Copies of this chain bind each other. A is one copy, B any other.
Amino acid sequence: MNELRDKNGLTEEEFLAAYRPGDYVKPSVAVDMVIFSAIERKEKNYRKLPEKELRVLLIRRGGHPCLGCWALPGGFVEPDETTEQAAVRELKEETNVENIYLEQLYTFSDPKRDPRTWVMSCSYLALIDSEKVNVAAGDDASNAAWFTVNLETVSQNLTKQQDGFCKTTEYMLTLSYDNIKLTAKIRHELIRSDKGAVNNYDIIENNGIAFDHARIISYAVERLRGKVQYTDIALNLVPEYFTLTELQQVYEIILGKKLIKAPFRRKYGILAEPTDKQTSYAGHRPSQLFRKKWLTE
């Protein structure tokens, strides 16, 4: 607190005591959580290992707008909390989950993104391991579901311009659960030149995904794809004891491609600490179980 006086002769203390907020229009600020998990699909052949899938938790909207559509869990930020605290609180209230990995993703602020009124969304990326998944959304299970996530590039166009370029990429996001299939096509236009960088994202098709949540989910997948390669973030998707093959599967479903075993283990084996436990009765050679070894730098 400083003692300087402003042009009205007030100290900071006096100024604050006299301060009345102006009558400006303010936005509502919500948090939306993209909660991912790596869940095993049931395998018919008893000898084969189950395959994992990347899933996201969605909640079916029971009221307008976007009635019947599927939306990310979320809620409004309250005046005595940070957006992160709001995310933690909503996570607990809405999905009954605590103590999971959470990081701020991006703040979406298109004034038309909510048809009701001006609502910004500060989005969070959350990761939860497959053992905690069953707990999630226990209360309201009929309106919550773990959708399998698929994000694919469907077309790309590159145009060179003077001093830069323009690249247009179209992504198809597919979310499936039982016989429900939600899709969205997103167009990303990137213009790069001496005059700055412009990123335009547009949802150009949307089937059943509420608000701009298709865009938020796509953004989250991209963030996850990037960070998984140079951080230990993937450990949050794996249970307390895990095999290296399991960890590799997590990488494969995030990156959307098969990886080769030996180099994978060389690179990401540092994330795992061997234990004396093993898997058993798997119909083939047992596998050593590991524990998480978080990177400290």
Contacts and interface: CB of A to CB of B under 8 A. Distances in A.
B104 A107 contact: yes
A65 B21 contact: no
B27 A194 contact: no
B197 A101 contact: yes
- In this complex, the interface size class of chain A, counting residues with CB under 8 Å from chain B, is 35 or more
Copies of the protein in its oligomer: 2
A265 interface: no
A107 B79 contact: no
A110 interface: yes
B63 A6 contact: yes
Given A29-B26, A77-B109, A294-B164, A4 B122 contact: no
A25 B27 CA distance: 10
A64 B165 contact: no
A68 B2 contact: yes
A65 B1 CA distance: 9
A181 interface: no
Interface string A53-81: 00000000011111111000000111111
A254 B292 CA distance: 33
Contact of A117 (B19, B82, B120): B19
Nearest to A118: B79
A188 interface: no
A274 to B, nearest CB: 15
Tell me if A's interface is mostly helix, strand, loop or mixed.
loop
A26 B19 CA distance: 17
Interface in A1-57: 2, 4, 6-7, 10, 12, 15-16, 19, 21, 24-29
A78 B25 CA distance: 8
A158 to B, nearest CB: 6
Contacts of A83: 107, 109, 120
A111 interface: yes
Identify which of A28, A102, A107 gathers the most chain B CB atoms within 10 Å of its CB.
A107
A115 B29 contact: no
B28 A240 contact: no
A117 to B, nearest CB: 5
Given A19-B117, A26-B29, A6 B107 contact: no
Given A2-B68, A63-B7, A67-B2, A28 B28 contact: no
Contacts of A197: 101-103
Interface in A113-127: 115-118, 120, 122
B80 A111 contact: yes
Nearest to A80: B111
A99 interface: yes
16 contacts: A2-B66, A4-B68, A16-B64, A24-B76, A25-B79, A26-B26, A79-B118, A80-B111, A81-B111, A82-B110, A83-B107, A83-B120, A99-B194, A100-B196, A158-B296, A165-B296
